[in-house]
């Protein structure tokens, strides 16, 4: 089970039969557009659960409901809902990288399998082995096409964005996820790193192999030192992204990492266009 948060409602023909829709309906201020979208899903035979909230204070009740649901689901699935061993594996990889920085003054060099002026691309071994790129942005489109082509019915697509969490970046990322949803009929997830590591990060690495991941990173134009350490917060974030990607690859996940360089906003614009072409 993967929580899908922030996807905008779409017509029923944009979804496969792998969804359960939860509608939190605010009775004191109902949204007619949301009601219409949910009615359309119901008529199409999609499973919908409607939970009525008298007012916004009922949100506290919902927090408790879903915390309890998580524990119950974990019991049924036979897993410990209060453990996150694969998140810990990412932490171990991160600490290893930061220790190397303390010794050498830099993170270990990485060898991208594709690069151009505005991006560098890293991939899991199966994709890197079969894809023989030339240099240039055209091959980024081919790499994205090959990556997304690996998704099948029942899979989900997750954007793992180690980027500044601002409105502009979120709009671009939301546009990308909805484009993939509409073209591939996949459930989509969007999380800003490293904060998502402590929520869906465990499921991505420790759950079933049903995710197709696109990790996006950029350089930090403004960085600050960590007090008492030789490294900066930007180095920590980079180490967390690289550590998480390393563990996903070790777990055999389908993962592509694109580094946008210093211009995250401009890079996202180009990436959005590249993904649009890759889906054609």
Three-class secondary structure of residue 1 per DSSP: coil
Contact 27, 52 (CB under 8 A): yes
Same domain, 166 and 98: yes
User: What separation in angstroms does the CA of 85 have from each of 79, 82, 94, 176, 245?
Assistant: 11, 10, 14, 30, 15
Q: Is residue 56 in some structural domain?
A: yes
Look up the pTM and report it: 0.93
| Domain span at 264 | 85-278
Per-residue pLDDT tens over the stretch 69-125: 999 999 999 999 888 898 889 999 999 999 999 999 999 999 898 888 889 999 999
Tell me the average pLDDT across 192-211: 92
User: What separation in angstroms does the CA of 32 have from each of 9, 42, 43, 70, 178?
Assistant: 13, 15, 16, 30, 22
Q: What token pair was written down for 49?
A: 């659960």
Same domain, 37 and 103: no
Q: Is residue 4 in some structural domain?
A: no
Contact 205, 255 (CB under 8 A): no
Last-in-domain residue among 25, 55, 77: 77
Q: What is the total count of domains within the chain? A: 2
Last-in-domain residue among 47, 77, 107: 77
Q: Is residue 31 in some structural domain?
A: yes
Structure confidence at residue 129 (pLDDT): 82
Q: What token pair was written down for 137?
A: 């942005």
Q: Is residue 6 in some structural domain?
A: no
Q: Is residue 68 in some structural domain?
A: yes
Same domain, 17 and 150: no
Same domain, 261 and 144: yes
Per-residue pLDDT tens over the stretch 139-174: 899 999 999 999 999 999 999 999 999 999 999 999
User: For the chain, first and last CA: distance in Å?
Assistant: 29
195 pLDDT above the threshold of 60 = yes
Q: Is residue 1 in some structural domain?
A: no
> Omega before 237 cis (within 30°)?
no
Q: Is residue 7 in some structural domain?
A: no
Same domain, 106 and 149: yes
CATH number at 114 reads 3.40.50.10490
Last-in-domain residue among 77, 101, 132: 77
């Amino acid at each position: 089970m993967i929580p899908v948060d922030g996807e905008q409602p779409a017509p029923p023909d944009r979804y496969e039969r792998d969804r359960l829709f939860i509608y939190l309906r605010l009775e004191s201020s109902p949204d007619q557009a949301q009601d219409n979208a949910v009615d359309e899903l119901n008529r199409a035979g999609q499973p919908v659960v409607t939970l009525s909230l008298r007012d916004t204070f009922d949100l506290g009740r919902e927090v408790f409901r879903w915390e309890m649901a998580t524990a119950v689901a974990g019991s049924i699935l036979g897993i410990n809902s209060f453990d996150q061993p694969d998140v810990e594996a990412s932490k171990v990889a991160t600490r290893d990288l930061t220790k190397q920085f303390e010794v050498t003054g830099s993170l270990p060099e990485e060898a991208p399998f594709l690069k151009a002026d505005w991006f560098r691309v890293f991939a899991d071994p199966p994709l890197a082995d079969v894809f023989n790129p030339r240099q240039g942005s055209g091959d980024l489109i081919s790499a994205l096409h090959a990556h997304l082509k690996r998704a099948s019915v029942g899979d989900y697509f997750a954007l793992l964005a180690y980027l500044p969490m601002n409105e502009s970046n979120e709009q671009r990322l939301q546009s990308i996820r909805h484009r993939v949803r509409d073209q591939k009929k996949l459930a989509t997830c969007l999380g800003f790193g490293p904060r998502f590591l402590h929520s869906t990060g465990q499921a991505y690495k420790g759950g079933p192999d049903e995710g197709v991941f696109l990790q996006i990173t950029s350089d930090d134009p403004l960085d600050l030192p960590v007090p008492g350490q030789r490294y900066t917060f930007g180095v920590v974030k980079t180490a967390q992204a690289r550590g998480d990607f390393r563990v996903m690859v070790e777990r055999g996940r389908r993962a592509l990492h694109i580094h946008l360089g210093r211009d995250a906003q401009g890079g996202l614009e180009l990436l959005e266009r590249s993904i649009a072409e890759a889906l054609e």
